[in-house]
Chain A
Amino acid sequence: MPGAIYAEGLVKTFGDVRALDGVDLDVPEGTVLGLLGPNGAGKTTTVRVLTTLLQPDSGSAVVAGIDVLKHPNEVRRSIGLSGQFAAVDEYLTGRENLQMVGQLYQMSARDAKARAAELLERFNLADAADRPAKTYSGGMRRRLDLAAALVVSPPVMFMDEPTTGLDPRNRQALWEVIEELVDGGTTLLLTTQYLEEADRLAHDICVVDHGRVIARGTADQLKAQTGGERVEVVVHVSEQIAPAREVLAGFGKGEVAVADHTRKLTVPVTGGAKLLAEVIRELDARGVEIDDIGLRRPTLDDVFISLTGHAAETETETGADGAAQQKEAVK
């Protein structure tokens, strides 16, 4: 049975650029899919297609059991959209914004009013409810935006970079809200450039680049795919790099990488903590003084770099929705 969000072979071209080049997705009900990729990879375009905002050139998509291309208005009743391109009106108060969205979801004026009050309370905006949204802080605005997406408690939610631009404290707070939502059974598709965010929130991750899904799996599977653990050593003085290298070569399962200016040596290993203890004893025996040593498992950053050949957040803006996102960034 296809999941709450299902897409097959989505293709979308803008001029010469293939923004989507055959994207397949399957998100089981009640789970979170993290769509990870650099700017311009096709994340936003994917979300726009699934939320009925953009017609794909080919391919099919089903959201909440409804065909996106055949019955877009039915799909709109069952989804909530939040993030960089679904804004709130800054001249309306928080309450007015939520009431308007409720009414446009075809709730009666009275229901929309009651629902707005409830959401303002829940998202900790009750005190600011009657102030124009432009007076809100970044975190408050994101919460209002999220509340607007939840006015009808949609079974399927889409969040496009929900925490971009938030400070760590607000990001934490928003993550908690999202986790609560998912615990309640909502299916969520989340795009993000923050690997930490995907790691924390998503059950499954799809890495997208150049309009294609280039890897998928759980965070652990992706990390395992990238390679196992490594020992990292920082020696106290550069003269000791050579002996340390010899020691590590003896334990390692591959080449020892050396960064001269940071005096850091890295080698892939198997054997975990026990091996680490042996490495330390041996280094000690050889008189190598160490500043730092540790067993490192690959992070999603490593996954990202090994898959796409570049880091997630330093990628230059290329590709089709690069321009759109650049515009977002300017605001």
Chain B
Amino acid sequence: MTATATKTQGGGALPAAPRPRGGIVQSVNDSLVVARRNLIRMMRIPEVVVFGLIQPIMFVVLFSYVFGGSIAVGGSTSPSDYREYLMAGIFAQTVTFATAGAGAGIADDMHKGLIDRFRSLPMARGAVLTGRTLADLVQTALTLVVLSLVALIVGWRTHENAGKVLAGFALLLLLGYAFSWIGAVIGLSVRTPEAATSGGLVWLFPLTFISNAFVPSDNMPTVLRHIAEWNPFSATVQAARELFGNLPPGYKAPDAWPMQHPILASVIWSVLIIAFFRTLAVRKYRSAAA
């Protein structure tokens, strides 16, 4: 067999594919190869990144100037207090939009036959999806950098040391990474990239609004208030606020456990989401039909 194969390809003598290294090394390698491919795509279609920035920037500006001054946070109606309070919420909402990106990207790959190409190759099982979510993580990080600069311009400041601030951003990125796995499941479940985009966005609005992201949950009706306090999204918002030092003086966190221990709650929620949706996504990938 090797002899025929060598003859077939004319020049360089390569046998059938090298034996897979297997295990974690191969998984990491394959994931990085796919991530690189997705990053190259991202650079060649910069519109996607640019449009991805417009909405969060509009939210920063609109919420800061339209709502600032009307919303009381911890007893203060100062616009600058609200602005500081708001930013972690907008950052968190922005990272969850990675869901739509991952979903649309994977649905597009399915639609175009690339998933079939990948599935016919002797590569690690989860690598196509891990590569995609890693590339999305890079995009999310870039988006956060730009958004932070805009936030600084409108008057957002942090009041904790650099370590804590970075930890806050790390939690935001972890949340974004977790949500891109939800996007992967959506992308593998729908037929077209368009459906994946809207399917990735519709539920994000209630999820991010029934939370503490834009207004404190204290004045919400009881049912919504409980949802908001246990919302995985709220935990990360609260954690980032705490780590950025953006909670206004006199602010008292709600009694719900995740609001009292937001950092731990944020990590637990994100890890649970990743574990659950990654398993689901890999299973779907293995039986995916174009």
B37 and A30 within 8 A (CB): no
Contacts A77-B16, A81-B120 hold; do A104 and B5 have CB atoms under 8 A apart?
A: no
Cβ–Cβ < 8 Å partners of B289 in chain A: 53-54, 324
A186 and B4 within 8 A (CB): yes
Q: Taking the nearest CB of chain B, how far is it from the CB of A147, in angstroms? A: 11
Cβ–Cβ < 8 Å partners of A65 in chain B: 1
A86 and B120 within 8 A (CB): yes
B14 and A87 within 8 A (CB): no
Within 8 A of B (CB), among A100-130: 100-101, 103-107, 111, 114-115, 118, 122
Name the contact of B120 in the complex, choosing from A53, A74, A115, A118 (C-beta under 8 A).
A53
Q: Is A153 an interface residue (CB 8 A)?
A: yes
A-B contact pairs, 28 of them (CB 8 A): A30-B4, A73-B20, A77-B17, A77-B19, A78-B17, A79-B120, A81-B117, A85-B113, A85-B116, A89-B41, A91-B44, A100-B37, A101-B117, A103-B30, A104-B121, A104-B123, A105-B17, A105-B121, A106-B21, A106-B123, A107-B14, A118-B11, A152-B17, A153-B14, A153-B16, A181-B8, A185-B7, A324-B290
Q: How many residues of B contact A (CB 8 A)?
A: 46
Given contacts A81-B116, A331-B112, 13 further A-B contacts (CB under 8 A): A64-B1, A77-B122, A92-B37, A104-B30, A111-B14, A132-B44, A153-B5, A154-B16, A155-B1, A185-B4, A185-B8, A186-B4, A186-B8
Q: Is B23 an interface residue (CB 8 A)?
A: no
Cβ–Cβ < 8 Å partners of B11 in chain A: 118, 122
Q: Taking the nearest CB of chain A, how far is it from the CB of B258, in angstroms? A: 41
Q: Taking the nearest CB of chain A, how far is it from the CB of B21, in angstroms? A: 7
The 8 A CB mask of B265-290 against A (1 = contact, 0 = none) is 00000000000000000000001011
Name the contact of B121 in the complex, choosing from A30, A76, A89, A155 (C-beta under 8 A).
A76
Q: Is B18 an interface residue (CB 8 A)?
A: yes
Q: How many residues of A contact B (CB 8 A)?
A: 52
- Report the bound CA distance from A184 to B113 in whole Å: 28
Interchain residue pairs A-B with the least CB separation, the first 4: A185-B4, A87-B113, A184-B8, A153-B9
- Report the bound CA distance from A152 to B20 in whole Å: 13
Most buried by B among A64, A77, A85, A104: A104
Cβ–Cβ < 8 Å partners of B33 in chain A: 100, 103-104
B26 and A106 within 8 A (CB): yes
Q: Taking the nearest CB of chain B, how far is it from the CB of A139, in angstroms? A: 18
Cβ–Cβ < 8 Å partners of A111 in chain B: 14
Within 8 A of B (CB), among A143-201: 148, 150, 152-155, 181, 184-186
- Report the bound CA distance from A54 to B289 in whole Å: 8
Q: Is B10 an interface residue (CB 8 A)?
A: yes
Q: Is B198 an interface residue (CB 8 A)?
A: no
A106 and B113 within 8 A (CB): no
Q: Taking the nearest CB of chain A, how far is it from the CB of B83, in angstroms? A: 39
A52: nearest chain-B partner, CB-CB: B120
Name the contact of B116 in the complex, choosing from A29, A53, A90, A185 (C-beta under 8 A).
A53
Q: Taking the nearest CB of chain A, how far is it from the CB of B6, in angstroms? A: 7
Most buried by A among B14, B21, B36, B45: B14
- Report the bound CA distance from A114 to B11 in whole Å: 11
Q: Is B221 an interface residue (CB 8 A)?
A: no
The 8 A CB mask of A62-79 against B (1 = contact, 0 = none) is 001100000001101111
A96: nearest chain-B partner, CB-CB: B40
Cβ–Cβ < 8 Å partners of B44 in chain A: 91, 132
Q: Is A46 an interface residue (CB 8 A)?
A: no
